[in-house]
Every structure is written in C-alpha cells, then in structure tokens.
Chain A
Amino acid sequence: MIFKRLSLFSGLVMTLGLFSASLSSAQSNVVNDVLIRGATVLTITNGTLQNTDVLVQDGVITAIGTDLRAPGGIKTIDADGQYLMPGIVDAHSHIALSSVNEGSSPVTSEVTMEDVVNPYHIGIYRALAGGVTTSHLMHGSANVIGGQNETIKLRWGMINPDDLRFKGAPRTIKFALGENPTRNHGRRGSSGSQPGIRPSSRMGVEAVLRDAFSEARNYMREWADYESAKLNHPRQTSPPYNERLEVIADIMRGEILVHCHSYRADEILMLMRVLEDFGVHNITFQHANEGFKVAPELAAFGAGASVFADWWSYKFEVYYSTAYNATILTRNGVVTSINSDSGELNRHLYHEAAKTQRYGDLSDDEALSLITINPAMQLGIADRVGSIEVGKDGDLVLFDKHPLSVYAIAQKTFVDGVQYFDRETDRDDQRLRVDPSAKLDTYMEQETGVHRFVKSEYVTLDILFEQN
C-alpha cells in the first residue's frame, strides 16, 4: 500500500513539474560512464595502486590501469592526489524504511522490508555523502524470526522503490536473540508486569527457533508428499499454503541468508547448534558484541560477524564488550564487517573501520575490508561489489585523503557509474523545492544515544506534502 501512496504523490509532483531538474534527469538521462584519472586506488582485493585510472562503462568497471584512453566524450575526473575506494557496503541499516518492526508475533518471516522502502528518505543522501553505496535494510529485532530484509543501492532521486533494489542480491532474513525478543514478547510492561508469550528467556528463544524450523520441515514434507501423491492421484488436494513457513523452508533450502541480531556468546553458540541441526549454514551474526569470546567457533562454522566499532554498555547484554571485537574476530579467521545500524553512524563508516587501528592492529586493507568486501560476502554480493576489479559494478567513492584518516572527506560517490553525490555541487538547502512558508523545524534532540531506543522513525518529504 505504501508503494501506491508514494508513487501517487511522486506522480503528482512530477506532473506538476515540481521536481528539480537535476533529480528527474537522474532517471531519464543517466550518465553511467566515467573515467577517474590518477587516483591512489584502494582496490581492497589487489592492494593499493598508485596513480591509477579506473574506467567505468555502462555502470561496470571495464579497465584499471595507467594512461587509460577515454572513449569518445566520456566524462573524465582528475583525481590526482585523491583516494578511490569501492563504495561502502553497510550490512545493517534502517534508513529509507517507512516501518521497521512487525512485533506482533515471535515469528514473522512472512513480512518483508521490500514493501516499505522509501526512496525519498534523506538518510539515503547522507549515507552517500559518507561513501556508502549499498545498504542492507533490515527488519527490527523484536522477533526471534523477524521479517525479510532488502539490499538496496543508494540511487538517490529514484521515485519507484523498486529502482533502488540491488537486483540479483540474495534474499536475507532477520533473526534476533536475547533481550529484545524476550522483552517484546515474554516480559511485556515494566518489569514484565503484563502476561506475555514465549520467549521470556534465552531458553525460550531456542525453543521458538526449533519449533519454527520443525514446523517448516513438516510443511515441506507435507508438500513433498502431496507432490508425489499427485502423480497417481490427480484429485489429491494440496496442503494449505503458508507464507510464513514457505520462507523458513527457503532458509533450509539455502535460498535465504540469515542475519541474526545477537550479543552474548551463549546465544551465538546456541543458534549455531540449532542451524546445524536443520542444515542451515549461511549465517551472519549482527552486532555480536560477545562474538570475540567464541571467535574460534564462529570461524569453524563459517559464520560471519557484523559488529559495531565501539558501542557498548547501552544495555546489559553489551556490558562485557570490547572495542577490540573486530580485531579479535578478524585475527581468528572470522569474516567480519563493521555496520552502522544508525542514520548518524552510516555517514562515517570509514572512520568506524579506522578505529580498528586504535583498538587492534589491522592493516589498512584489513580495516577497509570491514566495510567493503567482507559485508559484501555476508550479503552474498561479493561478485558484484566490495572491491575495485574489472567486471564489478562501478560503485566507487573518491576521498581527498586516505579514508582511514580522521581528516578524510568524501568528495564524489558513484553507484553503477552514476554520480549521486558531489561535494562541490552539494547544496546548502537540500529541499527539492523551497517553500518559504514551510515549517521545517523538525528538530530533535541530537544527543547520541537517543537512536538506541528510537530507530529510523524519520519523516521525510511527506513533511513537505503535508504543508502544501
């Protein structure tokens, strides 16, 4: 429904010609060829190349080398003295979503963030300005098995939410362990004063998972039985279709990657045991503040970890954290990424990655892998993004200084070879159309920490619409 409403609005706006030319032209007249000359190229997978050119044609990197010839009329950018890295991949984001949590049941695998993508959210542009090109839009952590997530590219200015989708990216789903699902379902009200439903403990979380997988396995069996019986008995009736169980069945079929909100070491071990029992092997633990305690087990299972650089003590289950988490995980062979989970933090993920050189001793390539190739692997899109290689998507960001320096500022960001952010032409007023009477004083308390409890409840351009 939200799609319809949004496209109705935007259709109206387009008809009235209110959209700025620069934005509407992004769709109709796309320039997705570019030659970036003379940059220090941080390829991630193939070291650092000094004074190197990168050519993007039709949205794809076609050549990396020195003194590349620009095909006729192609846009050329002189990047002498600047640093080119792959577009940043944020493995945990809640930007550009009109809702986040379907908290009505401990299992809600039937819902999907695909239905609530908001292409107008200013958070997309702000992330681009920090070099992010791909975001993994996740369901919230209210349920043990939450909704399906959506991987998008930050094609700012698109009107149809579908135009933001990362086409070909595998499906992923959100799981959640620990305090959030137990508080939301089992211990409602202050101090659990209202009666709840399972889970109210980490034991209950495991039971909910096992029940859901078992039920889905039975469902698969019923359908398999039906399919074979149908051959001999054409009038055999099918079992009832159940979208919730279909999705869980797809997890067991290996078609959906699991991304699980988790903090404590015990619950991380628990989920790996459960997944092992049901033959599921694609798992990335999100947050995983205590992942460092079970790093060898994570590595052995082939599980990924997507962590914060330094967040801790905002709730009890992250009290025994360490900012050295990403370093310990990396040194133990765990594929590790650093994510934002925040519309503030996703603007400086390159800085978050740099913190692993204070809290640990990761090399430049290792640190940058945490926000590029590693999250791309966790999202199943490493063949497309996460490094600068011929054949990969032209998702690139140009910095004036080395991106691990605190003084680095992103200058230009490209998605599929299209430039969506340019610091030079960035405007003081980001409104698409200035209405002098519009009351945009939507100020909120900026204290960091607020976002922990109130994530992604942004209002975007509908503020403008409401005013008119």
Chain B
Amino acid sequence: MNLILSLLLATTTLVHQQDAEQQTAKPRQGTYAITNVRIETVSGGTIDNGTIVIKADRITAVGTDVVVPEGAHVIDGTGLRVYPGMIDSGTRLGLTEIGAVQETNDSSELGDVTPQMQALSAINPNIPQIPVTRVSGVTTVIAEPSGGLLPGTAALINLVGYTPDQMHAGGVLLLVLSFPVNRTPRFFRGGSPPDDFDPDKKYREAVEKLDEIWDRAELYDRIDAAYAENPNLSTHPEYVPEMAAILPVLRGEMILMVKVNARKEIEAAIEWVQERNIKRVIFSGVSEGWRVADKLAEAGIDCLVGPIFSTPTRESDRYDRAYANIGMLADAGVNVAIRTGQSENVRNLPFNAGFAAAYGLGKERALRAVTLGPAEMFGIADDYGSIEVGKKANLMLTNGDPFEPATQVLGVFIDGFNIPIDSRHIRLYEEFLHRDEGRVQPVQVQPAVN
C-alpha cells in the first residue's frame, strides 16, 4: 500500500473509532485530544511535543502538561504538526459550481448598485468544492459577490455545516465596493470596445456616481437617525434597501471591502475613503500595491492581496511582481492577508502563501497572512487565527510544512468538527487507481500498438 493511502486510512480511522457503525464518514464534534504533536500556535510560537484538547467547538487546553480528558478521542500526533486552519480572504467558493454553466453561478446580480445582495444567502453548503477545499487545510473563506460598483455583501464562512448560518464565521460581513477603474478593458463582452470608448470619461462618471450614492446614503443615515431619535414626531422614512445596506458601513458597524488594483486607482481610493471618513476599510486585490506601498502604509489600510499566482499587471513589469507584491507591502508596514480569488481551486491557498514566502514575504509572515492576520482584520482574532485556549477549534494536522506540495494534510478540524479526509477527488482516485481490480475475470487489454 502506498504512503498516501495508508495515511488516508489512518485518518479515516479517526472517524471510525468514534462511530464504527457509521457507513458514511461525516464531520463530528466531540472531545478530542491531539497528543505528542508540534504545535505552531502563530500567536505564541512553537510548542514541541504538546497536546491540544478540543471540546465541542473550542480549544480547551494547549501545552506540554495537559491532562487528556477521560473519554476523549486521542489522536497520536507523533511526528506531526498542528497549525491553525487557513483563511482565504477572497473567493467565490460556494457561490459557483461550474464556471461555464450560467445556471450554477450566483456571485453576480444585474445592476451596478446592489449592495443589498447577500452572498451568504446564495452559499450552497453541499457542493463538492467544499470538501475538496477543506481537506487541504483551508477551513474558512471570504465568499464575495462581484459585478457592479456595489455588488453586495461578502461573508466569512467556515467550510462545514448544512446551512449558510451554520457556516457563517464570527458573523463577519463586508460590504463590497468595486472601485471605479480607469482603463480600457482588454476584453469586452462580445468583442472589442467601441471606437469612441473613453476610459477617462467613464471613470469620472463612475466616481461621480459613487459620490452621489454616498451622499444619498449619508442623507439616509441622517434621516434614519433623526427618526430613531424621535419616532413619534417624524414620519417613517421610506425604506430604500440599497441605502439601508450601506448604513452599517457609515456607522462603523461593518467593514467596507474596496476592490482596487491599479496604482492610480489605489491612490484615488485612499483619498476617497479618507474624504468620506470610512471608519473600517480593507482593500482587496491590490495587485499594484507595491507601487504605492508607502501610501497604503501611511493610510493604515489593511490589504487582502492576491491572487499571488497572477501575471504582472503591466507588460513592462518584472516577471515576479505578482509573487513579490505582498512581501513589498508587508515590508512597507502594511498589514496583509492572502486571497486566491478562486472558487474550485481555493485549495491552492497554501501554495499562494508558499510563493509569497519565497519571493520576499518569508514563511512566518506568510503563515500569518493566512491565519491570524486576516482574523485580526476581520475583528475575530478572539476566536480565530491562532491556537489558543478558548478559541474556535479550526486546525489542520500535517506531516510537514503546509505550504510544500509534498506535505499531506492528515486531519482537519473546523468549528470543532473532525472533518473526514474525503472528497470527490479522493474517491475517484481510490476507485480508478486500479480500476479493474474488482473484476473476477481479468480484463484482456489489447497489446500496445507501438
């Protein structure tokens, strides 16, 4: 039996131990102890030969002198390592199933100003992409809508659960603003741009539109506040869903996630969020952040950077700019997290982190950028992002550096659920590796022609 199969079986056994009669391996909470394991806490260094105790959804003990509770399912972690589960800070996971099949795509709604659209409502908890992703150690992702200027609200989700509400992590929602772009798109739907296409004009109009929307939202905010103060004296203000969706951002209750990439647009976006006095703001994408890293650092704006696997934004740029961008931002003092921008291949998050590490970010900061970094940015660091007593049990168990392709992820806990290391990809492997093994009569295969 080859290495991976035996490892897979070893992990499946974890689940079978607790419930041998179960036919289908399914995620299960309980009391677990991972012993003799190297613990990469992220927040408090490395603990060798340590033990982690998990009860229900929480980590209840971490350290070297931990008593394993009676009745706990014990997982011997000798030679293995535990890391916090990885967080992908920008994906379409759950919102799309098959890229080219329109009927399965729900990440984009008609219209330019649709902030009331809720990505969380369209998450499909049961698509095969979710198990495919989580067995890689990615436990939590931002699922974001896209499309117009204000396409809706993104949500942070754990990759376990049967309803979007069960998946919703830390109640995190972010209002998405796709900052206006000043460029001629390379690709127009249905052909080339019209001859009179004027990117400057289009950009000015889009910024004016954004300002107008924001003026109105601020007015709506004042009316709403006035009514709340004096409900008996005022008439009930008209409900405008678009405006109501922006309110939490104006009041500092929700983060505004500004999607912005090119240099001059990043500069314009910095000015805009400062003028508008946006209290909680994060930039996402930021592929040309390295050109204005100092300005981003000075503005104190956190950045969700990626995909790392991108070509440089300009033909003339160094070939490795997209790999190096995040490290240059971090060097300038910007808080960074990594986003893959992916749907079915969010599992490449650790490899995005590995390339970021190699091209300047370094391993330690890269690990932070997929764990505690984003948890802090999203305001959920009390519950997520590191291995500490009292935090959510979102963990991965590996036999090595999680960013190295050859490393196997042997166990995953999300929200305290022991996740079966199982996915459609693994099942197809198990079925087809030796496809005809199950036949009584051996198959007559024609001899090779050459």
Contacts and interface: CB of A to CB of B under 8 A. Distances in A.
Contact of B310 (A292, A301, A446): A446
A282 B382 CA distance: 60
A322 B428 contact: yes
Contact of B435 (A293, A324, A344, A447): A293
Interface stretch (A35-43, A241-249, A425-433): A425-433
Q: Which of A312, A316, A409, A460 has most chain B Cβ within 10 Å?
A: A312
A313 B98 CA distance: 5
B417 to A, nearest CB: 23
B2 interface: yes
A458 B187 CA distance: 11
A161 B447 CA distance: 42
A41 B315 CA distance: 33
A343 B355 contact: no
A144 B348 CA distance: 33
B314 interface: yes
B100 A404 contact: no
A295 B99 contact: no
Contact of A300 (B309, B424, B445): B445
A428 B318 contact: yes
Nearest to A428: B318
A313 B124 CA distance: 15
Interface stretch (B12-20, B158-166, B404-412): B404-412
B101 A315 contact: yes
A315 B99 contact: yes
Given A296-B436, A297-B445, A452-B99, A463 B344 contact: no
A457 B450 contact: no
Interface string A292-334: 1101110111100000001111111001111110011001100
A313 B344 contact: yes
A406 B351 contact: yes
Given A361-B4, A430-B316, A314 B99 contact: yes
Contacts of B406: 354, 357-358, 404
Contacts of A301: 446, 448-449
Interface string A440-455: 1111111111101110
Contacts of B433: 324, 327-328, 331
Given A292-B428, A292-B432, A316-B98, A281 B449 contact: yes
A202 interface: no
A447 B318 contact: no
Given A281-B450, A302-B450, A440-B314, A323 B425 contact: yes
Nearest to B185: A444
Contact of B129 (A302, A313, A405, A440): A313
B287 A430 contact: no
A454 B428 CA distance: 30
Contact of A406 (B262, B405, B408): B405
B74 to A, nearest CB: 27
Given A324-B425, A430-B315, A446-B287, A358 B187 contact: no
B405 to A, nearest CB: 4
A347 interface: yes
A188 interface: no
A186 to B, nearest CB: 16
Nearest to B316: A431
B185 to A, nearest CB: 7
Contacts of A153: none
B314 A311 contact: no
Contact of A129 (B313, B314, B319): B319
A465 interface: no
A407 B432 contact: no
Nearest to B146: A447
A296 B445 contact: yes
A364 to B, nearest CB: 9
Contact of B446 (A300, A429, A458): A300
Contacts of B4: 360-361
A446 to B, nearest CB: 4
A361 B261 contact: no
Interface residues of B, number: 68
A446 B322 contact: yes
Contact of B348 (A299, A310, A429, A431): A310
B100 A315 contact: yes
Nearest to B3: A361
Interface string B61-103: 0000000000000000000000000000000000001111100
Given A313-B98, A313-B99, A427-B318, A358 B408 contact: yes
Contacts of A297: 445
B41 interface: no
Nearest to B5: A361
Contacts of A320: 424, 428
A446 B358 contact: no
A66 to B, nearest CB: 29
B26 interface: no
A83 interface: no
Contact of B262 (A428, A441, A448, A454): A441
A158 interface: no
Nearest to A179: B100
Contact of B313 (A295, A300, A446): A446
Contacts of B201: none
Given A310-B348, A407-B358, A448 B309 contact: yes
A447 B307 contact: yes
Interface string B315-344: 111111010000000000000000011111
A404 B183 CA distance: 38
Contacts of B443: 296
A384 interface: no
A409 B359 contact: yes
B311 A406 contact: no
B214 interface: no
A313 B405 CA distance: 21
Nearest to A291: B432
A129 B321 CA distance: 12
A62 to B, nearest CB: 31
A155 interface: no
A441 B185 CA distance: 11
Contacts of A295: 432, 435
Contacts of B341: 446-449
Contact of A310 (B185, B347, B449): B347
A300 B450 CA distance: 9
A276 B183 CA distance: 52
A442 B405 contact: no
A314 B344 contact: yes
A440 B316 contact: yes
B405 A351 contact: yes
Interface of B: 2-4, 97-101, 129, 183, 185-187, 261-262, 285, 287-288, 307, 309-311, 313-320, 322, 340-345, 347-348, 351, 354-355, 357-359, 403-408, 424-426, 428-429, 432-436, 443, 445-450
26 contacts: A129-B319, A281-B449, A302-B449, A312-B344, A312-B425, A313-B98, A313-B99, A314-B98, A314-B344, A315-B100, A316-B100, A331-B434, A354-B405, A355-B351, A359-B429, A406-B357, A406-B405, A427-B318, A429-B318, A430-B317, A430-B319, A442-B183, A454-B187, A457-B186, A457-B187, A460-B315
3 pairs of A and B residues whose beta carbons are closest in the complex: A406-B354, A324-B429, A315-B100
Given A300-B445, A345-B309, A431-B316, 15 more contacts: A301-B448, A314-B100, A327-B429, A331-B434, A344-B309, A347-B319, A355-B405, A358-B407, A359-B429, A406-B404, A430-B315, A431-B315, A441-B183, A444-B313, A463-B315
Interface of A: 122, 125-126, 129, 179, 276, 281, 292-293, 295-297, 299-302, 310-316, 319-324, 327-328, 331-332, 343-345, 347-348, 351, 354-355, 357-361, 404-409, 426-431, 440-450, 452-454, 457-460, 463
